[in-house]
Structure 1
Amino acid sequence: MPHTTSAAPAGERAAGTDGDIAVSVQGVHKQFGDLVAVKDLDIDIRAGEFFSMLGPSGSGKTTVLRMIAGFEEPTAGRILLHGEDVTRSAPFDRPVNTVFQDYALFPHLSIAENVAYGLKVRGVSKTERARLVSEALEQVRLGHVAERRPSQLSGGQRQRIALARALILRPQVLLLDEPLGALDKQLREQMQFELKQIQRDVGITFVFVTHDQEEALTLSDRVAVFNDGRIEQVGSPREVYEFPRTEFVARFLGITNLLSGETARALLGDAAPHSVRPERVQLAAPGAPSADGAVSLAGRVLETVYAGAHTRYLVETEIGVRFISEQQNAHTPHTAPSVQRGDAVSLRFARDHVVAVPAAAG
């Protein structure tokens, strides 16, 4: 039978004592006029973890981040930071700092002056400011640009400067609102690794908002998947990808083949929804033997999509159901792919590569 998930239910609180929890969002509801942006949300974020809030535009993730920061006030519920109720506290009275997508650097100040700005406002001495700024810039490996202006830096460098400016104040929690969204793909991927390394080095709780599924999986210790003002699922990147608890999570986190109803009953013996990821669906020559117990279907390739490291195949099967298969491009660069559009194929997947998708949350 297909494997079933034991991942934690949506909205379940993190294990541990209150002292282990950096951010606790308890029964939070947010309404703008007739629009309900966040619906009775409960989530605990552990101290020192990289926690991502992932979801499409309008799903409520940025509103939650703004309420944690103090830029928005909940309509109902409360927010605790390390056990202290800050629901009605002003942003400057909270032990948090925020990095925005546009970085918000002062164009007329040098990089060193930008990083030192918060310390200056707090009245830190000039000598101590200089020492801390030097340490912060070295931490993001940009000590050599201290005297430049923001306009003289690349997008990735400006992102790291914004990060240094936020971290120099040693917040208990760092909030990041899609800080990599303005970068091109190559630079964004490079910055993902750097951001994760910095978080591990400083040990501060990072709460990261993104709509990029790959980014959330790459960076996070845990991911909360948002949809329509609610959390559909919380778990490690592996849990939410391998064991989606709702059809929305299965579809939103990458590509999936979702089987339900009579199709699922015919192939799996169970009409409930099931998910099998494209990389688990193999293609072979028609009539080729398959492993005992594997689901095997004859089909024809309707379309191929070359994506560099892998190729996706859209296959119309003999039962009228279309499957997506994703194969690594293991052939040599001078060899044509063995499967082409229009080819007859045998499509198969192991039953233990299929996971049941529980009923939708809420």
Structure 2
Amino acid sequence: MHDTTPPSAPGDIAVSVQGVHKQFGDLVAVKDLDIDIRAGEFFSMLGPSGSGKTTVLRMIAGFEEPTAGRILLHGQDVTRAAPFDRQVNTVFQDYALFPHLSIAENVAYGLKVRGVGKAERARLVAEALEQVQLAHAAERRPSQLSGGQRQRIALARALILRPKVLLLDEPLGALDKQLREQMQFELKQIQREVGITFVFVTHDQEEALTLSDRVAVFNDGKIEQVGTPREVYEFPDTEFVARFLGITNLLSGEAAGRLLGSSEPHSVRPERVHLADPSAPLDGGTVAIAGSVIEAVYAGARTRYLIETEGGTRFISEKQNTQTPRTEPSVRRGDAVSVRFARDHAIAVGGERG
């Protein structure tokens, strides 16, 4: 695992997971994990189902105890502390709103349990609803709100208690694509306004890249790489990261040796692979391979091409559709093309940072 971000001072660390191992019977869910999450950052744990990310979140929350290792919150060891003794709160995918209570009563619930006075509760609830732009819905029931509105209410209910760390377990998973994308921007804006550390679990690569200050990519109970969205996408440490975080053309062995002069694995992202006429001139810094288009897929904002080269290697090329709407695509299935990319756009997987 490679973390390219500079180290933080101990006082800047909101969550420190140190040598944590978690086992359920014979199943090892988390393997000797170390993570430091800085105060005030939006930190995402990204990975496929069963990779261990949700188990780590539940251990930070106190819903699961580590088999080994320890967890610190702002320097305090909370490994064996109960959930209610930790200054954290959790937002779940199902929101868990009380259907018989109004929106204002749902948001106020945690304050009421803590014994906060009625007048102070009313003031804080009004501020929280204003923050998520739902002050007008204070007297409605959850069933009268849309999925996006219920998500914002769950967020307001968690934030009103002013936790030092907010844990979010795939909170946007139940939303449709358009609403999900809208809520991503709203969630990031709210996090910046309140300045609370957000620890976010998702299996959606685009969501993690959109929201995060840093991303930890999980696989099989361990972290493959930690870094900013740009770092983990542009400079993957492992083949798993290159493949999981978006689409890539992964060249290795004989193909990499023939095209790049090195047999170690290299990643070339599809947006950096261009198709040209085979007779077009070539400059010295460009790799070119003859091939033919075997599939062209129109996807609205972009078109994706699958090309098979003469050496048997398949490439994916992706281009933005910048032409006028009625312009016909210039490359079609069956066309002979030259697959081209700049040599320095082929990134050695796990190699030196550019």
- How many Å separate the matches in 2 of 1:94 and 1:13? 27
- Which of the numbers 304, 315, 322 marks the counterpart of 2:307? 315
Q: CA–CA distance in 2 between the matches of 1:10 and 1:68? A: 22
- Is the CA contact (8 Å cut-off) linking 1:11 and 1:43 kept in structure 2? no
Q: Is the 8 A contact 2:19 2:69 kept in 1?
A: yes
Please point out which of 221, 224, 245 is paired with 1:232.
Answer: 224
The residue type paired with residue 263 of structure 1 is A
Poorly superposed stretches of 4+, deviation over 3 Å: 9-14
Q: Of the candidates 124, 130, 135, which is equivalent to residue 132 of structure 1? A: 124
| Equivalenced residues, count | 351
- Pairing of 1:25-104 with structure 2 (within 5 A): 25-104=17-96
- Amino acid in the other structure paired with 1:17: A
Using the TM superposition, give the Cα deviation of residue 145 of structure 1 relative to its aligned residue in structure 2, in angstroms: 0.2
Residue pairs, 1:231-270, within 5 angstroms:
231-270=223-262
- Out of 313, 327, 330, the position equivalent to 2:319 is 327
Q: TM-score, normalised by structure 2?
A: 0.98
> Offset at 1:14?
6.0
Residue of structure 1 in register with 2:168 after alignment: 176
| 1:89-238 equivalent positions in 2, closer than 5 A | 89-238=81-230
Deviation at 1:203, TM superposition (A): 0.1
> In the aligned structure 1, how far is the partner of 2:123 from the partner of 2:245?
43
Q: Are the equivalent residues in 1 in contact too, given 2:61–2:86 (CA < 8 A)?
A: yes
Paired with 1:56 and 1:178, the residues of 2 have a C-alpha distance of: 12
Equivalent position SS for 1:141: coil
Gap regions ≥5 residues in structure 2: none
CA distance in 2: counterparts of 1:287 and 1:316, whole angstroms = 18
Alignment partners' CA distance in 2, 1:322 and 1:11: 31
Match of 1:352 in 2: 344
Percent of residue pairs bearing the same amino acid type: 84
Q: CA deviation at 1:11?
A: 6.4
Structure 1 residues 91-112: Cα deviation after superposition (integer angstroms, max 9, x where no partner): 0000000000000000000000
* Aligned amino acid, residue 301 of structure 2: A
- Match of 1:325, SS state, is strand
CA distance in 2, matches of 1:136, 1:65: 25
Structure 1's unaligned 5+ residue stretches are 1-8
CA apart distance, 1:317: 0.7
Q: Describe the shift of the 1:55–1:108 C-alpha distance in structure 2 as closer, same or farther (beyond 3 A).
A: same
Distance 2:283 2:3 in 1: 39
Contact 2:4 2:227 in 1 (8 A): no
Kept in 1, the 8 Å contact 2:286–2:343? The answer is yes
Scaled by the length of structure 1, the TM-score of the pair is 0.96
